[in-house]
């Protein structure tokens, strides 16, 4: 058995005996997935509990009372005694999660990076238990990255790759991190733990990382409080209510509208919506300590143009999320109208992380993508390749193009539903398809687009329960996707509070 369970590498393939291509880097790459992006295994039951292949497993997990019970934190785990759950690898199959719409596998990302490294051994796929605090996983990542770099510098392909690179320098680390993985990477680069890891890192690429948190984390904690909601969403809330990792994703910026102003969430607010005050307090302290940590050679790939929650209101424990948010002046005050009322602006984002939360430095690549697709879409992979292959700046940020996609995350088979596209001026050259992921090689259903109250709209239905992918292609060459879970026709999706 591997004595380093977090160290898994990409599948081996022959590299040949000649000189390496000029574009190949001598650096070691670490791929860090986002929340729910690692497969998990319960050591006490001997069963896989997350990331299992097969659509039938997803349907059972989210629509039966006992599904996903193993993901709930135990008292021992909350006290810091970990090991019951082990991460076994990066997500290899498309998965669906309420509110987060879907998690795409990291196979394409790893395969793309393979084209830029001297040997598959240069890649570390860092799987982690995303239920735990980001700080805990950050230390595990620091240890794993240090060992990975040491091993890679001893590899024959490392010496071969150095020969055609400027100054024949030793390989360093490049982190490619999606979503929560960017927070884990920043925690790993805390100089208070491994003071040399920062120096040994050439670059960090973050893909849709919520450096300032996400309103969706608060919505997830509040699911099921006050009004009937779909069963899968209630199950997610039950799993996340005491999950430190989810609390680490709560918005750290001034996001709560109250008494004519916008303020920070407090531990009391988090308790009021069903979360844990201590975990919220720990998350705030953690994020405050992270502000001084810089990411070497940092480049952000940021999703844009997708309708994204930015602010929230809490009323009697019920959360109302808003697609617009307050904008600050350089002195920290909010922009206000002539009546001294806070003005709100729609900044958009990737559907989960609003744009300004994902930005940490000025080196940004904007792409019109959904959160789950920002580590898989062709345009995102092209940006990753450009950064991994060279020590140079990838160039100016790309312009905001494409369109925004808004669709339900949960539907019933046989029942029609609608999706909406924003920032669309013409239907010419715009296509929309629905693919059954149980039959990915089969024909995709083309959805007819039309105008409805000035918004581009398509009506769709799923023929059977399962997991489906919506894909919208725009005339400027962008593809925007989202996953939708379809349940049995007539199956009740909502339950009132017991």
What is the per-residue DSSP string for 40-73? EEETTTTEEEES-S-HHHHHHHHHSTTTTGGGSP
What is the predicted pLDDT for the residue at 416?
A: 95
Domains: count for the chain: 2
Most confidently modeled of 17-26, 386-395, 480-489?
Answer: 480-489
Please report whether residue 363 resides in a domain: no
Most confidently modeled of 39-53, 95-109, 143-157?
Answer: 143-157
What would the pLDDT profile of 395-421 be if each residue is shown by its tens digit?
444 555 788 999 999 999 999 999 999
What would the pLDDT profile of 295-336 be if each residue is shown by its tens digit?
999 999 999 999 999 999 999 888 999 999 999 998 989 999
SS3 at position 383: helix
What is the predicted pLDDT for the residue at 242?
A: 92
Q: Has residue 498 got a pLDDT over 70?
A: no
Q: Report the sign of the C-alpha dihedral through residues 221, 224, 225, 226, in that order.
A: positive
CATH of the domain at 139: 3.40.50
Residue 170 and residue 343: Cα distance in Å, rounded?
Answer: 51
What is the predicted pLDDT for the residue at 496?
A: 37
- In the block, tokens 């407090």 appear at 266
Q: Report the sign of the C-alpha dihedral through residues 112, 116, 117, 123, in that order.
A: negative
Please report whether residue 456 resides in a domain: yes
End-to-end Cα separation, the chain, in angstroms:
45
Rounded average pLDDT over 63-89? 90
Please report whether residue 261 resides in a domain: no
Q: Give me the phi and psi of 216, to 5 degrees please.
A: -60, -30
What is the predicted pLDDT for the residue at 211?
A: 97
Domain boundary among 190, 207, 224: 207
What is the predicted pLDDT for the residue at 390?
A: 76
What is the predicted pLDDT for the residue at 492?
A: 53
CATH of the domain at 476: 2.60.40.10
Q: Has residue 227 got a pLDDT over 70?
A: no
Q: Has residue 394 got a pLDDT over 70?
A: no
Residue 199 and residue 148: Cα distance in Å, rounded?
Answer: 15
What is the predicted pLDDT for the residue at 10?
A: 40
Least confident of 61-70, 150-159, 292-301, 356-365: 61-70
Please report whether residue 410 resides in a domain: yes
Least confident of 144-148, 170-174, 250-254, 378-382: 378-382
Residue 351 and residue 100: Cα distance in Å, rounded?
Answer: 8
Per-residue confidence band for 45, with pLDDT thresholds at 50, 70 and 90: very high
In the DSSP assignment, the letter for residue 10 is P
Look up the domain containing 102 and give its range.
7-207
Domain boundary among 177, 207, 237: 207
SS3 at position 78: helix
Rounded average pLDDT over 254-267? 95
Counting residues of the chain whose pLDDT is more than 70, the rounded percentage is 91
Here the tokens at position 478 are 């962008």
What is the Cα 236 distance to its own chain's centre? 16
Q: Report the sign of the C-alpha dihedral through residues 155, 161, 166, 168, in that order.
A: positive
The pTM for the full model equals: 0.89
Domain boundary among 207, 233, 265: 207
Please report whether residue 358 resides in a domain: no
Rounded average pLDDT over 66-79? 90
Please report whether residue 186 resides in a domain: yes
What would the pLDDT profile of 354-373 be if each residue is shown by its tens digit?
999 999 888 888 999 999 88
What is the predicted pLDDT for the residue at 495?
A: 44
What is the predicted pLDDT for the residue at 229?
A: 66
List helix spans (H) across 291-402: 378-389
Q: List, in sequence order, every beta strand (DSSP E) within 304-448.
A: 311-315, 318-322, 325-326, 344-345, 364-367, 404-406, 410-412, 417-422, 431-436, 445-446
Please report whether residue 438 resides in a domain: yes
**Top-confidence residue, 477 or 418:** 418
What is the predicted pLDDT for the residue at 148?
A: 98
Burial zone of 146 (CB within 10 Å; 0-12 exposed, 13-18 middle, 19+ buried): middle
Mean pLDDT of the chain: 89
What would the pLDDT profile of 336-358 be if each residue is shown by its tens digit?
999 999 999 999 999 999 999 99
Distances (CA, A) of 50 to 13, 71, 92, 103, 281: 28, 8, 11, 12, 28
The alpha carbon torsion through 250, 253, 256, 261 (nearest 10 deg) reads: 170
Per-residue confidence band for 15, with pLDDT thresholds at 50, 70 and 90: very low
Q: Give me the phi and psi of 220, to 5 degrees please.
A: -60, -45
Please report whether residue 375 resides in a domain: no
């Amino acid at each position: 058995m591997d004595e380093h369970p977090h160290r898994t590498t990409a599948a081996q393939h022959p590299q040949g005996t000649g000189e390496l291509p000029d574009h190949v880097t001598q650096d070691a790459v670490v791929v860090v997935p986002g929340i729910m992006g690692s497969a998990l295994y319960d050591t006490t039951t001997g069963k896989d509990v997350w990331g299992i292949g097969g659509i039938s497993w997803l349907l059972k997990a989210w629509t039966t009372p006992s599904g996903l019970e193993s993901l709930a934190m135990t008292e021992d785990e909350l006290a810091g005694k970990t090991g019951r759950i082990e991460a076994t690898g990066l997500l290899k199959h498309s998965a669906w999660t309420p509110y987060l719409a879907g998690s795409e596998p990291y196979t394409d990302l790893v395969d793309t990076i393979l084209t830029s490294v001297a040997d598959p051994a240069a890649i570390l796929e860092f799987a982690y238990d995303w239920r735990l605090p980001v700080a805990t996983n950050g230390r595990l990542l620091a240890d794993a990255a240090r060992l990975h770099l040491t091993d890679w510098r001893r590899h024959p392909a490392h010496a071969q790759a150095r020969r055609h690179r400027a100054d024949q320098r030793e390989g360093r680390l490049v982190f490619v991190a999606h979503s929560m993985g960017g927070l884990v990477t920043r925690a790993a680069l805390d100089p208070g733990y491994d003071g040399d890891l920062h120096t040994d890192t050439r670059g960090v690429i973050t893909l849709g990382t919520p450096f300032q948190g996400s309103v969706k984390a608060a919505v997830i904690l509040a699911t099921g409080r006050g009004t009937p909601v779909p069963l899968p969403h209630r199950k997610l809330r039950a799993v996340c209510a005491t999950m430190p990792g989810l609390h680490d994703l709560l918005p750290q910026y001034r996001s709560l509208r109250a008494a004519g102003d916008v303020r920070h969430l407090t531990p009391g607010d988090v308790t009021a919506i069903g979360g844990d005050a201590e975990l919220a307090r720990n998350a705030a302290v953690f994020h405050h300590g992270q502000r001084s940590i810089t990411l070497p050679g940092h480049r952000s790939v940021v999703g844009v143009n997708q309708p994204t929650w930015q602010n929230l209101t809490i009323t009697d424990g019920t959360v109302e999320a808003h697609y617009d948010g307050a904008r600050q002046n350089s002195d920290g005050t909010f922009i206000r109208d002539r009546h001294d009322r806070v003005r709100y602006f729609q900044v958009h984002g990737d559907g989960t992380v609003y744009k300004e939360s994902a930005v940490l430095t000025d080196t940004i690549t904007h792409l019109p993508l959904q959160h789950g697709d920002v580590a898989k879409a062709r345009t995102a992979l092209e940006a990753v390749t450009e950064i991994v292959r060279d020590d140079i700046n990838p160039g100016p940020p790309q312009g905001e193009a494409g369109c925004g996609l808004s669709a339900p995350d949960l539907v019933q088979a046989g029942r029609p539903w609608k999706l909406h596209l924003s920032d669309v001026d013409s239907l010419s050259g715009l296509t929309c398809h629905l693919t059954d992921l149980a039959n990915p090689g089969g024909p995709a259903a083309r959805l007819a687009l039309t105008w409805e109250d000035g918004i581009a709209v398509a009506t769709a239905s799923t023929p059977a329960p399962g997991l489906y992918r919506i894909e919208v292609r725009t005339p400027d060459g962008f593809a925007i996707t989202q996953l939708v879970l379809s349940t049995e026709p007539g199956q009740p999706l909502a339950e009132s509070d017991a």
